[in-house]
Amino acid sequence: MSTMVRKQVYIEPQQEVALKQWSMESGLSEAEIIRQAIERWLKEQARQQQHILAAWQAEKDFIADLMAQGVFPGGRTWKREDLYDR
């Protein structure tokens, strides 16, 4: 087992009741349940980060594809000023 670091945290009273109940039912220590919960949270955060990075990569690929198509034949038919309300 790796070296543990002691932390003191504050939890809500209903969380304490649920934690103690879960500990009794599972046979795991309260500390082990908290460690497992932190590990699950960290994995979920990493999964979400990967999802965000994948979405940005898809956007970059989409833009690169548009740019690779080159200029629209005949040029554009509008001016930048046309995009703004007057």
Helices (H) and strands (E) in the chain, counts: 2, 0
Q: What are the per-10-residue average pLDDT scores of the chain (86 residues)?
A: 89 98 97 97 97 96 88 79 83
Contact 16, 30 (CB under 8 A): no
Contact 33, 19 (CB under 8 A): yes
pLDDT at 1: 61
Taking alpha carbons only, the member of 45, 17, 57, 68 closest to residue 37 is 45
pLDDT at 5: 94
Report pTM. Answer: 0.65
